[in-house]
Structure 1
Amino acid sequence: MTTDTSGTCPSVRYTVGAFRAGYQMRLLSRPAPPQFPTTVCELVVPLGARAAVLAQSTVAAAVVHPANRELPLPNWTATTRPRTIGVIGDTGCRVTTPGPDQDCANHQTGWPFPRIAGSAAAVTHPDLVIHVGDYLYRDDPAQATDAAANPGCTAAGDRFSWGCVVADFFRPAESLLAVAPVVLTRGNHEDCRTPPATGGAGAAWFRYLADDLRSNGSCSLYPDPVEIRAGVLHLLSVDSSYADPADSGSITQQAIYTRQFEAVNQAAGQQPGHDYFVVTHKPVWMVRSAGPPPQTFTPVLDKAVGGTTLGRLADNIRMVLSGHAHLYQMIDFDTARPPQLTVGFSGGDPLEQGPNDAAVLGTPVGTPPQAVHHSLTQGGVFGYAVLNRNAGTWDLTSHDPTGALRGQTCTLSRNAAHKEFVCH
């Protein structure tokens, strides 16, 4: 996807086999000022293509990112999978009228996401990046310390405009977007409930970031799950942005999400020998507080999984990746239920401390209740997670904003009946 204000689309040159040619991008939407003063274009590139570059003639007068015009492409085939996956979430710079706010201009002690994105790109060298949601945190852009550097994102009325999408995501993530394809999951900050009446955060999501981009400013509460295939790794994206919006423990939406997870299980049944990850912003089984009683996210999603025909997630769904809670946590159950990984600590404030892991062990979670077997929580710190391919399974690590390893390396078991991380 590329954006400009001209109403025309550029072309992209790439190579397949020994053949190199230019291909015109397809127009998706024209500028809709003042909120969306941009043209949105897309191009479907076949697997195996390489050396994709925006044609010089189409961008000579434009400001281009990345500056070398090279676009990252998958380096896996239909029978392989990514080697290294960077996982980030809840990245926007929090700016509100009442405060307290993050210092968006200070990436060392204020808003760390630009530094995290740079470290993830330079230190981790990912083949794929997964963002588990929440991009736009500038509720009052006029209060932002970096407002002068962000034209189009300087007033309250701009907060879900193209300018604020650039300020909160595209510009700070530029170094990471330049090195690897990115899978984006919608968060509750990109929901349909926020003014202005012309669209809001949800409209910006569906115009610029969603899998199915739109040109009409519409916003859906419960879009269907999306399957994104990275070779023999399948990412099943479930939009939980509107799941229990007050985080009150309500399960009134259970039937809606049961249909969603039924579709997820059906998709996972198509390729039994492949790996599947469920990616959804709100965690299904995360333990926010050990209690008593324990506080968990998100009961309506858990109940929905329990209401499927299987009564659980399919055997080859190996992990659930989420955000929403501003911390890092991995829990597993040593059962057929997949581990829950929560990565909500990549920039947004305020951070959460999280529970004491010793108190979480043995906590009954979910429907039916299953005792937590392993718990690894890092609260009060910023960072990102990495999944590295390891002889048919995955190693999981957590990293601080410099890219340095924090804590243990955990290896995902291969046993479908006893899914757990073994940490060392």
Structure 2
Amino acid sequence: MGLAGALATPAHGDTKAPAVVNDARLEAAYVIMGDGFATVRIVTGAAGCPALTIDAKAQPMIVRAPHASLPLRPTASTIANSKPSVFPITVCEASLPPGAKRASVDGRPLPMPRPVIRRIVVIGDTGCRLKASENAYQACNDPEAYPFAIVAAHAAAWHPDLVIHVGDYLYRENPCAPGHAGCAGSPWGYGWDSWKADFFTPGAALLAAAPWTVTRGNHESCERAGQGWWRLLDPRAMQPRHDCNDAADDVTGNYSAPYRVSLGQGAQVVVMDLSHAGKKNIAADDPRYDEFVSTHDALARYARNATFTFATDHYPILGVTIPDGEPDKPPKAGNKAFQSTFGQVDKGLVPAGVDVLLAGHVHLWEHVDYSGNTPSQFIAGFSGTQEDAVPLPSRLPVDTSPLPGVTIRQFDAWTDGFGYMTMERTGARSWKVTVRHADGSLLRRCRIRGNHTYCEPIFG
């Protein structure tokens, strides 16, 4: 059965569509882009699915995930602060037919995919950081200290055709500690209350503005918020052993094959699930090794057949960062996890034909342009999460490089606040890029020409 067919089949072998419900408890309505299809997702407090109308015709939705209290998974801080993930919601879905013009649920209009994508917003690392092990208690109640809602509103006002999120949606992993008024009363853990507070409520304006391409972050790994990731965001059909409920299945639940989203006129974005990469070498007997090599090979096939290719994953493949816990050490380029996997089958590390890499994970904005055929790297991990990045120098050591014979032509990083990135198509292989503060004011102007990029600071 193809993926589109799987999406049209109710979960758990139920061949009956759920009862249609017109209910005021509609929590969220949004559109996720998958491999050749777009799917409408609805989150409702009701047991059944609401009415969906596509081009003036009613269409049934299926239950992707029913109400549930899911098995205990440890938080990223301490098992003592763990609790079950409670989802007192129904997640419904339906595929959008190709060429559909309008869709709505209970009268609420939905953003529709465009055949040619010209305007893209890029955001990442959007949740509010509550992590006891790092004594990190971001002021989630203060829109200046946690400005994802502001970012989402201004990005939505730019009227994008597509939103790309580069991963890490949920950061409220532990209770707000006493004495921290800025996060007092915040929900925490990996259930719906945290997902709603950290993503769906602050991101509502941008979810309504355009369809989304979603990249899985390490915060959505099975041992963290993977249960919600599979229920709410991943575009694929729910599958046995991919739901992150049983720790014995985490190897399966932590990885999916890459897929491509067409941007029209030969351009595409390839989405890779490499959220469990880490930053250390991956041995050949590690299950991730074959997964990553398979991802590399699929990316190479996709890139061969496109005019222009963005590739997105959460960990920067070619980013420049300060080594963890070593602020006095010089910056390093690249990531050992990819050098030990991609690099074993490709001396250029990233397949030919990939033009620009998009990532997050590091809580900053960054741009690196490399010599030769090496793709440029953008990092957009600056859209809400408390910044923890050590400021990078304006000039890098001359030997900073992820690969022998590859030099850095231009490097730029910004760590002084929050914001988002926009990309606007200007040609078959060219894009105009802007980097903006949370309030929409301009921070950088960049241009993409093939696999090379150049950025011009405005201020900051």
Q: Is the 8 A contact 1:353 1:380 kept in 2?
A: no
Residue aligning to 2:151 = 116
Residue aligning to 1:251 = 282
* Structure 1: distance between partners of 2:194 and 2:330: 40
Structure 1 residue 309, shift from structure 2 partner: 5.3
Stretch of structure 1 that moved more, 113-122 or 139-148: 139-148
Residue aligning to 1:359 = 396
| TM-score (norm. length: structure 1) | 0.83
1:111-190 maps to which residues of 2 (within 5 A)? 111-122=146-157, 124-143=158-177, 153=187, 159-190=189-220
Does residue 31 of the first structure (1) align with residue 67 of the second (2)?
yes
Does residue 282 of the first structure (1) align with residue 315 of the second (2)?
yes
Alpha-carbon distance change, 370 to 346 in structure 1, aligned in 2, over 3 angstroms:
same
* Structure 2: distance between partners of 1:13 and 1:233: 30
Residue aligning to 2:117 = 82
Alpha-carbon distance change, 368 to 381 in structure 1, aligned in 2, over 3 angstroms:
same
Residue aligning to 2:142 = 106
Alpha-carbon distance change, 336 to 149 in structure 1, aligned in 2, over 3 angstroms:
same
Does residue 376 of the first structure (1) align with residue 412 of the second (2)?
yes
Letter in 1 for 2:262: R
| TM-score (norm. length: structure 2) | 0.76
* Structure 1: distance between partners of 2:370 and 2:333: 14
* Structure 2: distance between partners of 1:172 and 1:145: 19
Stretch of structure 1 that moved more, 83-92 or 21-30: 21-30
Residue aligning to 1:343 = 380
Q: Is the 8 A contact 1:395 1:410 kept in 2?
A: yes
Unaligned runs of 5+ in 2: 1-40, 70-84, 245-249
Residue aligning to 2:16 = none
SS in 1 for 2:137: coil
Structure 1 residue 146, shift from structure 2 partner: 7.6
* Structure 2: distance between partners of 1:230 and 1:26: 28
Q: Is the 8 A contact 1:257 1:304 kept in 2?
A: yes
Residue aligning to 2:232 = 208
Residue aligning to 1:191 = 221
SS in 1 for 2:102: strand
The Cα offsets for residues 204-259 of structure 1, whole Å up to 9 and x where unpaired, read as 11111112253763351222112222323322111121112xx3x32335443122
The Cα offsets for residues 159-217 of structure 1, whole Å up to 9 and x where unpaired, read as 100111111000000011111111111111111224xxxxxx11111111112253763
Structure 1 runs of 4+ with >6 Å offset: 146-150
* Structure 2: distance between partners of 1:354 and 1:47: 46
* Structure 1: distance between partners of 2:413 and 2:217: 21
SS in 2 for 1:42: strand
The structure 1 residue matched to 2:357, chosen from 306, 317, 320, is: 320
Residue aligning to 2:95 = 44
The Cα offsets for residues 40-80 of structure 1, whole Å up to 9 and x where unpaired, read as 11111123322211135xxxxxxxxxxxx1110112x2xxx
Letter in 2 for 1:394: W
* Structure 2: distance between partners of 1:54 and 1:90: 29
Stretch of structure 1 that moved more, 334-343 or 365-374: 365-374
Structure 1 residue 358, shift from structure 2 partner: 1.8
Structure 1 residue 9, shift from structure 2 partner: 1.6
The structure 1 residue matched to 2:261, chosen from 228, 247, 265, is: 228
Residue aligning to 1:238 = 272
The Cα offsets for residues 250-279 of structure 1, whole Å up to 9 and x where unpaired, read as 23354431221111111222x24x321111
* Structure 2: distance between partners of 1:324 and 1:296: 15
Residue aligning to 2:4 = none
Alpha-carbon distance change, 353 to 388 in structure 1, aligned in 2, over 3 angstroms:
farther
* Structure 1: distance between partners of 2:68 and 2:218: 24
Q: Is the 8 A contact 1:285 1:302 kept in 2?
A: no
Identical pairs, percent:
30
Does residue 421 of the first structure (1) align with residue 453 of the second (2)?
yes
SS in 2 for 1:366: coil
The Cα offsets for residues 373-396 of structure 1, whole Å up to 9 and x where unpaired, read as 111111232111111111221112
Stretch of structure 1 that moved more, 368-377 or 162-171: 368-377
Q: Is the 8 A contact 1:11 1:24 kept in 2?
A: yes
SS in 2 for 1:121: helix
SS in 2 for 1:341: strand
* Structure 2: distance between partners of 1:421 and 1:147: 39
Unaligned runs of 5+ in 1: 57-68, 195-200
Alpha-carbon distance change, 255 to 24 in structure 1, aligned in 2, over 3 angstroms:
closer
Residue aligning to 2:9 = none
| CA RMSD between the two structures | 2.4
SS in 2 for 1:35: strand
Letter in 2 for 1:262: D
The structure 2 residue matched to 1:300, chosen from 332, 337, 342, is: 337
Alpha-carbon distance change, 286 to 310 in structure 1, aligned in 2, over 3 angstroms:
closer
Residue aligning to 1:66 = none
SS in 2 for 1:265: helix
The Cα offsets for residues 350-372 of structure 1, whole Å up to 9 and x where unpaired, read as 34243223225x44422345111
